[in-house]
Amino acid sequence: MKLLRLISTWLLLISTPILIHAGEKNQLNLKWTKLSDLPALTGQSQALGVAGPFTGIANNTLIVAGGANFPQPVWETEKQYFNDIFVLELSSQSDSLRWIKGNFFDQPIAYGASIETPYGLLCMGGRDAEQVFDSVFLLNWDNQENRLTRSELPSLPKPCAHGYAAIIGNTVYLAGGQSGPGLESAMKNFWMLDLTPFQQENDTSTMHWQELPSWPGPERAFNITVAQHNGQENCIYLISGRRLKDAGTEELQYNFLRDVYEFNPSIYKNTQKKQSAWRRRKDVPVCVMAGTGAAIGQSSIFLFGGADGSLIYQVDKLRDRHPGFPKKAWAYHTITDTWIEADSTPVNQVTTRAINWGDKVIIPTGEVRPRRRTADIWQVQLEEKPYEFGLLNSGTLIAYLLSMLLIGFYFARRNKNTDDYFRGGQRVPWWAAACSIFATMLSSITYMAVPARAYATNWEYLLGYPAIFITAAIVVYFILPFFRRIDATSAYEYLEKRFNRLTRLVGSGMFTIFQIGRMAIVMYLSALALATITPFNEVEAILAMGLLSIIYSTMGGVEAVIWTDTIQTFVLLGGALLILFFTLFNIDGGFSTLLSTASEYGKFHMVNWDWDMHSYTTAAFWVLILGSLAQNMISYTSDQAIVQRYMTTSSEKLAKRSIWTNGVMGVLAGLLFFFIGTALFVFYQTHPAHLDPTFKNDSIMPLFIVRELPVGIAGLLVAGIFAAAQSTISTSMNSTASALVVDFIRPFITNKSDGYYLNFSRSFTFCFGLLGTIVAVLLASADIKSLLEQFFAFIGLFGGSLGGLFLLGMFTKRATGRGAFTGAIIGVIVLYLVQSYTDTHLYLYTFVGVSACFVGGYVSSLLLGGAKSDISGLTVFDLKIKK
């Protein structure tokens, strides 16, 4: 009771900060930098610039090819088309950029579409004064020989000019345009070219353009086409454009379009109703025909210019008094389907492209008003808004972190032997064990990622949570009795009794390696989010989480871990409730607006009744149920971090109660987190100016915490993110130490005092915690990050097999050690093949691994045989289920 009073007092103190607002609302600021001027073209003494060039970046070099302009005096001359090609090496400093004159095209050409690909700048269509072309080719700059290369590709299905292209992976999409010199030939073309064959020794013989269903709107040219992620998939966005009005409708001839459409390639691929891949999105506030657009961040599209058509019928009257196209940028958010005015711009260049270059955008040359081009090359960058975490937030966070150390000191004096250190002397209350299981399985990644998933998609993944109850029933009635019966400190003791020592050592060893990786990944991914909202950088956040967890875990053992988990459960769940409260409080109309807006956008959609032959690639109902069941079975049967909690209570009855309680907590928490994600969607859908494109989608909850919540409350909720991370980290430290001592030290170093093994336990806890922290710091290094990610992906293959071994031992009589070991290898191989060569949904990976190990192990046992051993009481067939 004394400890509970301390916990209650601590929570009260840090939960009552002064309600000062955390920060100002977000404003988007675009930084424009002039890079260089396009040189004068052939036959012209001045650098006038061009409109409609093929332009893009290849080998870190900007290419500007072809284009058209009006020679001086512009109102007395005809439009002139060019075949000049210029390149600009962007790797140099901006004050020393140097243009190089490239080759010439065979003929003058302009107003084609171009897009960067892994193989060069793809150029499509185009026109001159008399005709429109259907040619397609790749341009590439050879940095060694300073020359431009050209590779011919299959022609377009029709000639096309004034269209716009985008790319997803190896697939290029070309939308809109006109097939003849006049706008009356505007098309509803939507063409696709798969460049994969070109990757195979430049083979173009099997490449061809495919005509896809077009958008559910009118034909057009001068549209904008951009590829961006919509929270679920990478999609193509068709924006604005211009067409002739239907004959006889009005005197004015042009129809200035503001409509927006989204094409989802995954829906097109996996459904029979191909047209359903298109859906209408919110109109852009003004027409932005012939404008420039680029994807910025994970789910934003910025339009840096475009013509609104407001003065198009006064061009001849205004001439050089024309003010130019509106100097205004727009931002569209694909998840919330909202438009905002992004920022004013120094110039509005149309009939050119906005080219992504790292976190910057290059906008070369283009038209700034009728008949006037510009030679300017601009670089645009979205500036990150600095955030001051503040003294009160910092104080709240520090108070939490120091309190974790105090708990470690408190329990250090209670550890007399390894039973105290690893099982808490079996004196842990059942509800604390339940909280520890809950906190262990709920890492900071889940704490942030689940609301982020609901924010970006819908409630489909909530269906996986009821599988916890199915798992809990299986564990309570079939699995828990095995561990209690053998009085296990390590889960892998069962594998030796059921199979052989080799299986135990392999299982324990794989668990240890996996947990080191898990610690590192949890710390690293949590640090990525924390570094954007706290005074810590990534490495400092990793060190804060890792070193503090090492201290209290090493000193206090499993009791310290369980009680800190319990506090962290209250912190993170209390924090989640506060986020939901403040989100609803800041939504105009509150709960009713949340329900209506979320329903309008399908955010409460929960069941995907997909049973066709491709459903294994989607979040179908059966995929989520089987995948969640397998994931939970692995955790509850083969994860020492969870099994260890079974053994800290004083009786099997109380252990069962902790498992059921954790199940209830897990489902309720899942519902809470999904509701938070939906509330965040509605908040940002109704307050789009508060979104920050520089934040990743998975950091939407941290963004809300630091930008929308009162100071002090924000600090408390950031502590909740730390809490979710530390609960996973500290548990991994203690459980790996217990596995190593019990499975590798005690069996081989015998006849030692318990104090001897206790010292080993503390040393292992410290060493593995330190190792996990070091690996997390290495992950933050770009040089080694990809190598470590591949290693952890490989280690992850063994999780399914580990769970399969336990189920094989418990639910079969004829499985042998030799067969089990073979089954584990089969499980790893099958899962690797499924991951590498199929489109199977990742939720099914664990189910595939468990099933392959179970079936492969059973069949191998029948074929290979093995030494007979006494398995009495080690299978469910000998188990008497207690009510």
C-alpha radius of gyration, the chain, whole number: 31
Q: According to CATH, where is 2.120.10.80 located in the chain? A: 35-380
pLDDT score, position 795? 58
Residue 605 to residues 14, 448, 461, 594, 597: CA-CA distances in angstroms? 37, 21, 10, 14, 13
pLDDT score, position 768? 86
E strand or H helix that includes residue 291: strand 289-296
Whether 643 and 421 have beta carbons less than 8 Å apart is answered as no
Instruction: Answer whether residue 294 shows pLDDT above 80.
Output: yes
Sequence-ordered alpha helix ranges (H) in 442-537: 444-456, 467-474, 480-485, 493-498, 501-533
pLDDT score, position 184? 93
pLDDT band at 713, cuts 50/70/90? confident
535-578 pLDDT, tens digit each: 888 888 899 888 888 887 777 667 777 777 788 788 888 888 98
Give the residue, 375 or 712, on which the prediction is more confident.
375
Question: Residue 59 carries which DSSP code?
Answer: T
177-201 pLDDT, tens digit each: 999 999 999 999 999 999 988 776 6
**Torsional sign, CA 706, 707, 709, 712:** positive
pLDDT score, position 20? 41
Token duo for residue 560: 């310290």
Give the residue, 101 or 288, on which the prediction is more confident.
288
Kindly report which listed range (346-350, 809-813, 875-879) carries the lowest average pLDDT score.
Answer: 875-879
pLDDT score, position 160? 98
Residue 344 to residues 27, 103, 348, 350, 788: CA-CA distances in angstroms? 12, 37, 10, 15, 43
pLDDT score, position 477? 86
Instruction: Answer whether residue 16 shows pLDDT above 50.
Output: no
Residue 178 to residues 132, 163, 258, 366, 435: CA-CA distances in angstroms? 8, 7, 18, 19, 64
Please state, rounded to an integer, the average pLDDT across all residues of the chain: 85
Kindly report which listed range (336-340, 563-567, 620-624) carries the lowest average pLDDT score.
Answer: 563-567
Token duo for residue 14: 């840090």
C-alpha 758/C-alpha 421 separation (Å) is: 7
Whether 703 and 26 have beta carbons less than 8 Å apart is answered as no
Q: What is the mean pLDDT of residues 105-110?
A: 91
663-705 pLDDT, tens digit each: 898 889 899 999 999 999 999 999 999 998 888 888 888 888 8
Whether 40 and 46 have beta carbons less than 8 Å apart is answered as yes
Give the residue, 86 or 145, on which the prediction is more confident.
86
- Describe the chain by its helix, strand, coil percentages, rounded to 5: 50, 20, 30
pLDDT score, position 164? 97
Instruction: Answer whether residue 250 shows pLDDT above 60.
Output: no
- As beta bridge partners, residue 140 has 149
581-592 pLDDT, tens digit each: 999 998 988 889
Instruction: Answer whether residue 605 shows pLDDT above 70.
Output: yes
Tokens 């512009």 -> residue: 74
Whether 583 and 686 have beta carbons less than 8 Å apart is answered as no
pLDDT score, position 99? 86
Instruction: Answer whether residue 13 shows pLDDT above 90.
Output: no
Q: Which residues of 111-146 are buried (b: 16+ CB within 10 A; e: fewer)?
A: bbbbbbbebbbbbbbbbbeeebbbbbbbbbbeeeee
Q: What is the mean pLDDT of residues 367-372?
A: 94
Q: What is the mean pLDDT of residues 236-258?
A: 83
Which strands sit side by side in the sheet containing 136-142, from one edge to the other?
A: 113-117, 120-124, 136-142, 147-153
Kindly report which listed range (136-145, 187-196, 677-686, 728-737) carries the lowest average pLDDT score.
Answer: 728-737
C-alpha 674/C-alpha 668 separation (Å) is: 10
Q: What is the mean pLDDT of residues 213-238?
A: 96
Q: Which CATH number fits domain 388-584+593-606+620-796: 3.30.2320.50, 3.40.50.970, 1.20.1730.10, 3.90.550.10?
A: 1.20.1730.10
Share of the chain above pLDDT 70, in %: 90
Instruction: Answer whether residue 17 shows pLDDT above 50.
Output: no
392-447 pLDDT, tens digit each: 888 888 888 788 777 767 766 666 667 666 666 677 787 888 887 787 777 777 77
pLDDT score, position 79? 94
pLDDT band at 356, cuts 50/70/90? very high
pLDDT band at 782, cuts 50/70/90? low
pLDDT score, position 126? 96
Whether 552 and 765 have beta carbons less than 8 Å apart is answered as no
Give the residue, 14 or 827, on which the prediction is more confident.
827
* Residues in CB range of 273: below 8 A, 6 or more apart: none
C-alpha 357/C-alpha 295 separation (Å) is: 11
Instruction: Answer whether residue 12 shows pLDDT above 70.
Output: no
Question: Residue 110 carries which DSSP code?
Answer: B
**Torsional sign, CA 513, 515, 516, 518:** positive
Give the residue, 609 or 153, on which the prediction is more confident.
153
Token duo for residue 701: 């909850």
C-alpha 65/C-alpha 63 separation (Å) is: 6
Report CA dihedral (591, 597, 601, 602) to the nearest 10 degrees: 30
pLDDT band at 379, cuts 50/70/90? very high
Highest averaged pLDDT of the listed ranges 106-110, 258-262, 420-424, 478-482: 258-262
Mapped onto helix, strand or coil, the DSSP state of residue 609 is coil
C-alpha 621/C-alpha 460 separation (Å) is: 8
- Cis status, amide bond into 710, omega within 30 of 0: no
Say how many residues make up the chain: 883
793-821 pLDDT, tens digit each: 665 677 888 889 989 988 999 899 899 99
Q: According to CATH, where is 1.20.1730.10 located in the chain? A: 388-584+593-606+620-796
Whether 89 and 70 have beta carbons less than 8 Å apart is answered as no
Instruction: Answer whether residue 43 shows pLDDT above 80.
Output: yes
E strand or H helix that includes residue 817: helix 817-837
475-496 pLDDT, tens digit each: 888 888 877 777 777 788 888 8
- As beta bridge partners, residue 330 has 303, 341
| Domain 35-380 of CATH type 2.120.10.80 | yes
Q: Identify which of 470, 659, 662, 648 has the alpha carbon closest to the alpha carbon of residue 561.
A: 648
Q: Record the pTM.
A: 0.86
- As beta bridge partners, residue 261 has 238, 280
pLDDT score, position 249? 52
Which strands sit side by side in the sheet containing 61-65, from one edge to the other?
A: 54-58, 61-65, 85-89, 99-101
Main-chain phi, psi angles of 342, to 5 degrees? -80, -50
pLDDT score, position 139? 93
Whether 692 and 29 have beta carbons less than 8 Å apart is answered as no
pLDDT score, position 251? 57
C-alpha 659/C-alpha 165 separation (Å) is: 54
Number of other CB atoms surrounding residue 689 within 10 Å: 14
pLDDT band at 727, cuts 50/70/90? confident
pLDDT score, position 203? 72
C-alpha 257/C-alpha 287 separation (Å) is: 6
47-96 pLDDT, tens digit each: 999 999 999 999 889 999 999 999 999 999 999 999 999 999 887 555 56
pLDDT score, position 673? 92
* Residues in CB range of 233: below 8 A, 6 or more apart: 264, 265, 266, 267
Whether 439 and 562 have beta carbons less than 8 Å apart is answered as no
